Structure 1
């Protein structure tokens, strides 16, 4: 086990501006009409890592990891997030984001060694805290065998328990556009041979925050813009390009339950929100 004590509390500060161009590209990516409201989820396209191309590792991530600890396990995934929307963002806002390493935990399981890194993000507009987020990143060992692609069922997926429903086909252009919006050069999202041969996936992997953004957009289409005060999601299984996914949700009082379900009926992402 490594001693990561010196990394706890390390932080970095980044700055950005919400521009009309960013808003238009974001809305075009998720097929949402452009309005004066800044959609919840756009904050994942702000204050992005910007390591030079010469400093990228083989997987496309910055080799040095920025302020993150130098975890040697090669496979990295955004596993979950818990977000508090404290104040709506507006067009033209000058953004400051402070990101801090909150914890580092090493574990061993059936899939081998794992390292979980929790990062706290505080997004500010001037002196006002607009968004707080706890992001959980998991690092894993190399893939030993290729993951089998799920076989599409001829039976209709049962979505009868969900009041809100939308079907999405995550195509290569959608994955490419979201990677461009977030300046994410992780090759599992655009380099099919790498994703299959090096990381053991059956195809291109759909970004976790993209699916979370689509769930936020589903909620906005049902409730109106910027109605959520909190949103938490957890990835249960990967989704792959050109496999249809179902965005579903239901409301019970002030509590919203959301999910991404695969064509095989299994849950890919679970989420909860409050209004």
Structure 2
């Protein structure tokens, strides 16, 4: 498909400030009270966001990529993009009004052949600093794929006859990702990917069954669920997740948490039991 060796090792630095107003909007989006001084886990995905001009956006709403040295990722000839997985280490808390710096480096770009056609995986390493102190270390995996051919069944499939089984979990919670929630999260992350707000585009062009819930939003809901369950703002030391299937707006998500060997197991499921996201976590040492 292409030689992407020139992009391996490319770096980008972005700067931001965790303002009290951003903290308040983030908490309002998740229907929770505002902490006094510490950023909830997951809020870092709303910091140091891309700021491409509107004229520089592609058809899908993402910033266009090109062959220039300023382009962190190459212009891949694949139309669909999703956040496939992530691994986060929470090193230190981020407090309100901290000066934020995020350093990003391209670790790898790998081509694979999937059941639906060619795939390209891009792995990025992020380090987020708050007032010059390392706060978060993270690896992010993006996947690019072709748009589905005409006549393909929509993704995900319609709800089946199954039911989410809460019996195997220590704690569960049901949440409803409404279009308003998706819109607010897109605004917080300055994410203009059209699958999250443009229903005709999401269904007619990219072949989804409805508006698609952001992967990091689902991960954020799991982080917030861990906070609610464990009763601690900095509930987790590490958190890794993998997207399994798309989630659609206005369809309930069932979150589960249980204790396992070596840490916590978390997941998000659709109402019919289809798994949406799988996650693992550890708690801070006593």
TM range, smaller chain: over 0.9
Q: Secondary structure at the match of 1:80?
A: strand
> Is the 2:171–2:256 Cα contact (8 Å) retained in structure 1?
yes
Counterpart position of 1:2:
2
Counterpart position of 1:35:
35
Between the aligned partners of 1:105 and 1:194, the Cα distance in structure 2 is 28
> Is the 2:161–2:272 Cα contact (8 Å) retained in structure 1?
no
Between Structure 1 and Structure 2, how many residues are aligned?
275
Within 5 Å, give how 1:137-156 maps onto structure 2.
Answer: 137-144=142-149, 145-147=152-154, 150-153=157-160, 156=163
Q: Aligned pair 1:134/2:136, yes or no? A: no
Q: Aligned pair 1:104/2:109, yes or no? A: yes
159, 162, 168: which one aligns with 2:166: 159
Q: Secondary structure at the match of 1:40?
A: coil
225, 228, 232: which one aligns with 2:240: 232
The alpha-carbon deviation at position 155 of structure 1 amounts to: 5.8
Between the aligned partners of 2:16 and 2:277, the Cα distance in structure 1 is 29
The alpha-carbon deviation at position 157 of structure 1 amounts to: 2.4
Q: Aligned pair 1:173/2:180, yes or no? A: yes
TM-score, length-normalised on structure 1?
0.96
Q: Aligned pair 1:244/2:252, yes or no? A: yes
Q: Aligned pair 1:182/2:189, yes or no? A: yes
> Is the 2:266–2:279 Cα contact (8 Å) retained in structure 1?
yes
Counterpart position of 2:17:
17
User: Any runs of at least 4 consecutive aligned residues in structure 1 with deviations exceeding 3 A, and if so which?
Assistant: 148-156
Q: Secondary structure at the match of 2:83?
A: strand
Counterpart position of 1:51:
52
Counterpart position of 1:272:
280
Between the aligned partners of 1:21 and 1:191, the Cα distance in structure 2 is 27
The alpha-carbon deviation at position 64 of structure 1 amounts to: 2.0
TM-score, length-normalised on structure 2?
0.93
> Is the 2:156–2:247 Cα contact (8 Å) retained in structure 1?
no
> Is the 1:195–1:203 Cα contact (8 Å) retained in structure 2?
yes
Q: Aligned pair 1:207/2:208, yes or no? A: no
Q: Give the gaps of 5 or more residues in structure 2.
A: none
More deviation, 37-46/146-155: 146-155
> Is the 2:263–2:281 Cα contact (8 Å) retained in structure 1?
yes
The RMSD of aligned alpha carbons is: 1.4
Between the aligned partners of 1:13 and 1:67, the Cα distance in structure 2 is 11
Between the aligned partners of 1:150 and 1:166, the Cα distance in structure 2 is 23
Between the aligned partners of 1:149 and 1:92, the Cα distance in structure 2 is 40
> Is the 1:151–1:264 Cα contact (8 Å) retained in structure 2?
no
Within 5 Å, give how 1:51-130 maps onto structure 2.
Answer: 51-64=52-65, 66-130=71-135
> Is the 2:78–2:147 Cα contact (8 Å) retained in structure 1?
yes
Counterpart position of 2:26:
26
